Amino acid sequence: MVAHFLGLKLRILGNTFRRSPWQLVALIIGLLYGLGVCVVAVLGLIALRLADVETARNVVVIGGSLAVLGFLVVPLVVGVEDTLDPRRFSLFGMRNDTLALSLAVAAFVGVPALVIASVSLSTVATWSRGVGPAVLAVLGAVLVTLTCVLGARVTTSVAALVLATRRARDTTGIVALVALVLISPAASLLANADWGRDTLAIFSAVATTLSWTPLGAAWSVPADAAAGDYGSALLKLLIAVAVVAVLALGWRALVARMLVTPEREARVKVYGGLGLFDRFAATPTGAIAARSLTYWLRDPRYRATLVMIPILPVLLFVPLSIAGVPVEALWLMPLPFMCLFLGWSIHNDVAYDSTAVWLHVASGTRGTADRIGRIVPVALVGIPLVLVGAMLSATFHGDDDVLPSLIGVSSAILFAGIGISSVMSARFPYPAVQPGDSPFKQPQSSGAAAALLQSVSFLVSLLIASPAIVFAALELIEGGDWGLWSLASGVGISVLSVVIGVAWGGRVFERRGPELLAFATRN
Amino acid sequence: MRSTPRGDGAGDAPVSHDAPGIGGVPVVGRASVFQDVPVIDDAPAPERSTTAPEARLPSALPAADAPDAGEHPAEPPVDDGVVLSIEGLRKQFGSTVAVDDIHLDVPTGSFYGIVGPNGAGKTTTLSMVTGLLRPDGGRITVHGVDMWADPVRAKRSIGVLPDRLRLFDRLTGAQLLYYSGILRGLDAATVRQRSSDLIAAFGLEDAVNRLVADYSAGMTKKIALAAAMIHSPRLLVLDEPFESVDPVSAANLIDILQRYVASGGTVVLSSHGMDFVQRVCDHVAIIVTGRVLAAGTMDEVRGGGTLEDRFVQLAGGRKAAEGMEWLHTFSD
């Protein structure tokens, strides 16, 4: 039976080459790329034989942990098409254990498994510093390969089992959120480090922590042996074996579960009442606001935006702090940056409706009602963000005098973005991710126009907010009353931007309703 | 081209030529529901009488029975028995002429079917009628209001069921109904009342609290149709309303629509189903390659035969099945 499955897997692999020439070229380039990464990794690991034990351990454990993490997480986030999904064999009436074993063995035939096997085996060269470390390195390599391949099987199956329904695919955004939230403490740790001196110490600390987790245990077994610490080497060996055992048992249980679980099990959630619609006025504006807010909470495309907003400042923080910008100054950056992104995020809102916008057109909805309704969710997030964020930023910055200008700049940027978005989304929609598609999928025809419109919306909102920004800069340089000027101009810009944006955008929306629908139908 | 008499001396009163009255309609299944659903809203002025008790009075319903005492004198409805008038409508996509000089008058109170082969321009025409697609030329008048000159007012009289357009499907059925009603300017109490009536009438009780994205195709049609009716429009424009709707639901919906027509409302629908149109509609237009080839009452258009015969004859006749002899000898 196992042989049958191996044969099947080999045939599937072989058939990937029987495609159109261009697909073949892409496949070969991909393979060469993978091969290149593999060769570099193998050579690097061999070269690490010359490094001292500490350095070699840090590199192997951190790099290796990332590789294991990749095997576990990539199928979850990307949702790999599984050619050997256990459910495809449910009609053949095989014993569960046979099927689980056969599928697991077949999973070792494949490019990723070959790459991780050869890379992990080359750590034998790295640790050829005595019989003990070398033998343990072979054991470690076997465990690493088992962990990766079984782990990928388990997470792929979990993804297939859990993500089969529309609702579940929608929550992939949440999975990404969890992954990113897990990463961000590490990132802030990195951000707070004094990179000039502590680099090596940090690497050591990270490697030590990872070596006690399922990700890094197997990698660090030979390293500890090479350092003479056979006690912890043995403990980590036990951890690694336990991880493989748990994955194997989990895989067996999953196969059993999947065989009796039909694909696309529709478990539909039932909502009571009218939800958010009860909390907004029963006017077109209120209803559109409730609808928008419901979409922000339910639609993965909007949730992806919500997730990105707290992540972005971290992405900004880390490189700047590495570049040596003082931390006090850095604390002034995240809030305006988040506001910029938040206000900008609705600049293509109408395209997100796709053709459902016909309802607004057919009802003769007032343009201002449509515009205000779409602004409400962003304002509901943005206004508390500005107030609380400004206070937190000022506290971390260590000087409360920046509070007025922080509020001024942030609100100016936020509402300038909202105003410009109100006009842009009615006047210049560009193809967006369709409802129901993955938020990480790119629409087929976005191209240069999209990039141009995105940057224009960004730059124009910064330009509109520039008075508040200039006053804030003066406050930082000269002190004095400039902060209050920034606050006053910021509030003024906010009000004006929203009023003008809503009025102008509303007129455009009313005039161009049929054109907006025609655009949505084309894309 | 069409036979409905214009200017029949009825003055401002919209005249229903063929409304057979409630008693003439077969009462099937959920028939009683329609008395609870106010259908015709008679005043095109902004402050429309939408409160439930008033609107549910029978006298508020049929335009044909009640004189237009409640009309605002400033805005006399221009209605000479024709609720929808299409004159010289044209639309071109690139070099393809989708709609080529269509003239059509839809009498008030008629059940009007539009039939035609695939790609004949039915959806394009209906999109322009409902204000969703800008015409290249021509004039559309809904209850005396020019759709493309005063769209906000004209759209008030129309309920729309488009084909192949999305809904806001991350809302539950109940939310979508509420959303449609509020966007149409109804107040919350009216929307709730009418929503529950529509949900009962359409048999959607089990589905209203689930997301529309999880509905089957037929259920989606039903909720969209309910949303199209919630503001009790004078004219319902339905594009392929019964595609993928099961026969039992379709019978219920047809019954609802017939009662709506009986009380003075007008239905314009497009369909591929000739038998269905012949059975249900009292007027019909045959559109082929963007032109109206025949229009009028059902009896006029089909002459002695069936509508299908007439349609096939007008649409270019049957293709002679030559050159397909290989199909008559089997390869095994």
Q: Are A332 and A393 in contact (CB under 8 A)?
A: yes
Q: Are B294 and B314 in contact (CB under 8 A)?
A: yes
Taking CB atoms and an 8 Å cutoff, what residues of chain A touch B175?
A: 271, 274-275, 277, 291, 294
Which residue of chain B is at minimal alpha-carbon distance from A352?
B168
Q: Which residue has the tokens 């989304």?
A: A425
With an 8 Å Cβ cutoff, are B167 and A356 in contact?
yes
Confidence band for A255, pLDDT divided at 50, 70 and 90? confident
pLDDT above 70 for B167: yes
| CB nearest A270 (choices: B152, B156, B209) | B209
Q: Are B102 and B290 in contact (CB under 8 A)?
A: yes
With an 8 Å Cβ cutoff, are A166 and B178 in contact?
no
Could you tell me which residues of chain B have a Cβ less than 8 Å from any Cβ in chain A? 130-134, 151-153, 155-156, 158, 160, 162, 164-172, 174-175, 178-180, 182-185, 187-188, 191, 209-211, 213-214, 227
Taking one residue from A and the other from B, the number of pairs with CB-CB distance under 8 angstroms is: 115
Which tens digits make up the pLDDT trace of A135-145? 999 999 999 99
Q: What is the SS3 assignment for A500? A: helix
* Closest of A338, A308, A285, A300 to residue A439, by C-alpha: A300
Q: What is the SS3 assignment for A375? A: helix
Q: What is the SS3 assignment for A464? A: helix
With an 8 Å Cβ cutoff, are A356 and B169 in contact?
yes
Q: Is residue B73 part of a domain?
A: no
**Burial (CB count within 10 angstroms: exposed 0-12, middle 13-18, buried 19+), residue B247:** exposed
The sign of the torsion formed by the CA atoms of B232, B32, B263, B271 equals: positive
| CB nearest B213 (choices: A166, A282, A353) | A166
Taking CB atoms and an 8 Å cutoff, what residues of chain A touch B209?
A: 270-273
The pLDDT of A285-310, averaged and rounded, is: 86
Tell me whether A269 touches chain B (CB under 8 Å).
yes
Q: How many CB atoms lie within 10 A of CB A129?
A: 16
Taking CB atoms and an 8 Å cutoff, what residues of chain A touch B157?
A: none
Q: Is residue B117 part of a domain?
A: yes
The pLDDT of A393-397, averaged and rounded, is: 86
Q: pTM above 0.90?
A: no
Q: Is residue B121 part of a domain?
A: yes
Give the gap in angstroms from C-alpha B24 to the nearest C-alpha of chain A.
Answer: 33
Q: Is residue B289 part of a domain?
A: yes
Query: pLDDT higher for B86 or A90?
Result: B86
Structure tokens at A361: 């057109």
One-letter amino acid at A262 equals: P
Q: Is residue B192 part of a domain?
A: no
Give the gap in angstroms from C-alpha B305 to the nearest C-alpha of chain A.
Answer: 38
Q: In this predicted structure, what is the pLDDT of residue A79?
A: 53
Which tens digits make up the pLDDT trace of B255-287? 889 999 999 899 999 988 888 888 899 999 999
Q: In this predicted structure, what is the pLDDT of residue A80?
A: 54
Domain ranges within chain A, ordered by starting residue: 2-259, 279-522
Confidence band for A99, pLDDT divided at 50, 70 and 90? confident
What is the average pLDDT value for chain B, to the nearest integer?
77
With an 8 Å Cβ cutoff, are B151 and A364 in contact?
yes
Which tens digits make up the pLDDT trace of B188-221? 999 999 999 999 988 888 888 888 988 888 889 9
Confidence band for A202, pLDDT divided at 50, 70 and 90? confident
A201-215, A401-415, B58-72 — which one is most confidently predicted on average?
A401-415
| B270 bridge partner residues | B114, B239
**Residue from B160, B170, B196 to probe the interface with A (highest A Cβ count within 10 Å):** B170
Q: What is the SS3 assignment for A487? A: helix
Confidence band for A263, pLDDT divided at 50, 70 and 90? low
The pLDDT of A172-200, averaged and rounded, is: 58
With an 8 Å Cβ cutoff, are B175 and A277 in contact?
yes
**Burial (CB count within 10 angstroms: exposed 0-12, middle 13-18, buried 19+), residue A71:** buried
Q: Is residue B281 part of a domain?
A: yes
Q: With residue A362 as reference, give the H or E element that holds it.
A: helix A358-362
| B158 bridge partner residues | B235
Task: Tell me the angle at which helices A284-298 and B173-183 cross, rounded to the nearest 10 degrees.
Answer: 150
pLDDT above 90 for A205: no
Task: Tell me the angle at which helices A482-522 and A403-427 cross, rounded to the nearest 10 degrees.
Answer: 20
pLDDT above 70 for A122: yes
Which tens digits make up the pLDDT trace of B2-48? 444 443 433 344 434 443 433 334 434 333 334 444 444 443 444 43
Confidence band for A441, pLDDT divided at 50, 70 and 90? low
Query: pLDDT higher for A172 or A102?
Result: A102
**DSSP symbols for A42-104:** HHHHHHGGGS-HHHHHHHHHHHHHHHHHHHHHHHHHH----TT-GGGGGGG---HHHHHHHHH
| CB nearest A359 (choices: B168, B170, B209) | B168
Q: What is the SS3 assignment for A128? A: coil
With an 8 Å Cβ cutoff, are B132 and A517 in contact?
yes
Task: Tell me the angle at which helices B217-229 and B247-262 cross, rounded to the nearest 10 degrees.
Answer: 10
The pLDDT of A438-456, averaged and rounded, is: 67
* Closest of A44, A60, A45 to residue A223, by C-alpha: A60
What is the average pLDDT value for chain A, to the nearest integer?
83
Task: Tell me the angle at which helices A334-344 and A447-464 cross, rounded to the nearest 10 degrees.
Answer: 130
Q: Is residue B85 part of a domain?
A: yes
Tell me whether A283 touches chain B (CB under 8 Å).
yes
Tell me whether A363 touches chain B (CB under 8 Å).
yes
Q: Is residue B173 part of a domain?
A: no
Which residue of chain A is at minimal alpha-carbon distance from B164?
A355
With an 8 Å Cβ cutoff, are A166 and B187 in contact?
no
* CA–CA separation, A219 and B181 (whole Å): 63
Tell me whether A277 touches chain B (CB under 8 Å).
yes
With an 8 Å Cβ cutoff, are A514 and B155 in contact?
no
Q: In this predicted structure, what is the pLDDT of residue A169?
A: 59
**Residue from A166, A269, A270, A274 to probe the interface with B (highest B Cβ count within 10 Å):** A274
- Range name among A92-96, A159-163, B49-53 with the lowest pLDDT average: B49-53
* CA–CA separation, A353 and A190 (whole Å): 39
pLDDT above 70 for A483: yes
With an 8 Å Cβ cutoff, are A294 and B171 in contact?
yes
Structure tokens at A170: 């929608």
The pLDDT of B151-172, averaged and rounded, is: 91
Q: Where are the alpha helices (H) located in A122-229, listed in sequence order?
A: 123-126, 131-162, 166-170, 172-192, 195-211, 217-226
Q: How many domains does chain B have?
A: 1
Confidence band for B89, pLDDT divided at 50, 70 and 90? very high
Domain that holds residue B153: 28-43+81-163+235-317
Beginning with the edge strand found earlier in the chain, give each strand of the sheet holding B111-115 in spatial order.
B158-161, B235-239, B266-271, B111-115, B283-288, B291-297
For the domain that residue B135 is a member of, what is the CATH number?
3.40.50.300
* Closest of A96, A125, A120 to residue A108, by C-alpha: A120
Give the gap in angstroms from C-alpha B150 to the nearest C-alpha of chain A.
Answer: 10
ipTM for the predicted complex comes to: 0.76
Q: Which residue has the tokens 């690493």?
A: A144
Q: What is the 3 state secondary structure string of chain B? A: CCCCCCCCCCCCCCCCCCCCCHHHCCCCCCCCHHHHCCCCCCCCCCCCCCCHHHHCCHHHCCCCCCCCCCCCCCCCCCCCCEEEEEEEEEEEECCEEEEEEEEEEEECCCEEEEECCCCCCHHHHHHHHCCCCCCCEEEEEECCEECCCCHHHHHHCEEEECCCCCCCCCCEHHHHHHHHHHHCCCCHHHHHHHHHHHHHHHCCCCCCCCEHHHCCHHHHHHHHHHHHHCCCCCEEEEECCCCCCCHHHHHHHHHHHHHHHHCCCEEEEEECCHHHHHHHCCEEEEEECCEEEEEEEHHHHHCCCCHHHHHHHHCCCCCCCCCCHHHHCCCC
The sign of the torsion formed by the CA atoms of B11, B12, B14, B20 equals: negative
Query: Which residues, 6 or more positions from A217, have their beta carbon under 8 angstroms from its beta carbon?
Result: A211, A236, A237, A239, A240, A243
Q: Where are the alpha helices (H) located in A399-481, listed in sequence order?
A: 403-427, 447-464, 466-478
Structure tokens at A193: 């480090």
